[in-house]
Amino acid sequence: MDDKRQIAIVGPGNIGKATGLAMIQHGLGDVVFWGRDEDKLRGTKLELMSCVDGDEDFDVCVSTNPAIIAGSDVVVVTSGKPRTGNMTRADLIKENAPIIEKVGAVIAQHAPDALVILVTNPLDAMVELMNRTSGLPENKIIGMAGILDSRRFRGLLAEELGVRPHEVEGIVIGQHSDSMVPLFSSATLRGRRLDDLVAAGKMSRERLDGVKTNVASTGATILRLNGMTAYLSPAACATDIAESYLTGKAREFPASVRPRGVYGQDGDISIGVPVIVNEEGVTPFEIPLSPDEKAAFERSVADQVKQNQALDEFLSWRSLSLEDAPGEEPPFQPA
């Protein structure tokens, strides 16, 4: 890669702006924003240019023209509608699938060599849609979710155990939803397995089960308490993924990708598994699971397969629409 990096961010909302700031503060390169609202884009640039003292070597550019992302090394996709009210994940797929499909086509045209980091929900379905429709290589498409869920897991464990977060290790795999799978069998406190501490009577299984429940609801809790979805933590996690890719300093994260054989998953499904991120892209791998965790992961996969039926419906509708009216793009309104 060239010395001068460029990070493109699709969408100037809260997550997009926070991601841009984190990229600048980490010194990862120039930041460009592509969006639809010219005023918001200009406001984003003015705000970000005022966040540092002026000694950093970076630039911020914004445009409603998708060509602004040309040649980007990393593209972070934050565009899309949030889930609201009684909206199901299938409903959200119908809202965001057309957006992500178009974004994927733009990336393939203008930045085909970029690492694509998706943040848009429902995360696993949007990663799979990008894999199915963009033509971009699988090892360059990654969904930021598992790393965020894992950090929430570690933070809740630390709070429950009365220790600092860095003293706890633990990851979450599976779907970014209520069916996510915190891996207690490999979780540790100061290097000691939590399961061993439970077996020794030094902590209760009930306390850990409570953490498991709270991990899956953290996002909803943040929304309820703050009146808006989380944006600082997703930005930090996306930036860490980008940094590993841009610097070549390999790191391990749980993230949504096509597993391709990991935990026996060979089908066209994207879901959270452990991955290595380096300058070559993303490589999934396995860590041992307990029998209960393996069963929970398989249930999470099955849930994602059902969710992907809305993707199938969208793609079928798109195919029929293009055949019936080439060049036209009517609203997505499947039965």
Q: Is 176 a catalytic residue?
A: yes
204: exposed, middle or buried (C-beta count within 10 Å: 0-12, 13-18, 19+)? exposed
Contact of 133 with 311, CB cutoff 8 Å: no
Which among 26, 110, 166, 176 is annotated as catalytic?
A: 176
Residues in the chain: 335
Q: Where are the alpha helices (DSSP H) in 50-145?
A: 89-110, 123-133
Residues 6 or more apart whose CB falls under 8 angstroms from that of 314 comprise 93, 94, 97, 98, 129, 332, 334
Tell me how far apart the alpha carbons of residues 98 and 100 are, in angstroms, rounded to a whole number: 6
SS3 state of residue 329: coil
SS3 state of residue 212: helix
Residue positions annotated with a catalytic role: 176
